[in-house]
Amino acid sequence: MSKTKSMTVTPLGDRVLVKRVAADDKTKGGIILPDTAKEKPREGVVVSVGNGKLMDNGSRQTMSVKKNDRVLFSSYAGSEIKLDGEELLILGEDEILAIIEN
Q: Is residue 4 situated within a structural domain?
A: no
How far is residue 43's CA from residue 40's CA, in Å, rounded to a whole number?
A: 9
Look at the chain and report how many structural domains it folds into: 1
Q: Quick one: DSSP state of residue 60?
A: B
Q: Is residue 68 situated within a structural domain?
A: yes
| pLDDT tens profile 19-30 | 998 765 655 676
Q: Is residue 75 situated within a structural domain?
A: yes
Q: Is residue 69 situated within a structural domain?
A: yes
The CATH number of whichever domain residue 63 belongs to comes to: 2.30.33.40
Q: Is residue 5 situated within a structural domain?
A: no
How far is residue 8's CA from residue 22's CA, in Å, rounded to a whole number?
A: 22
* pTM given for the model: 0.77
Q: Is residue 78 situated within a structural domain?
A: yes
| pLDDT tens profile 71-93 | 999 888 899 999 888 889 999 99
Q: Is residue 95 situated within a structural domain?
A: yes
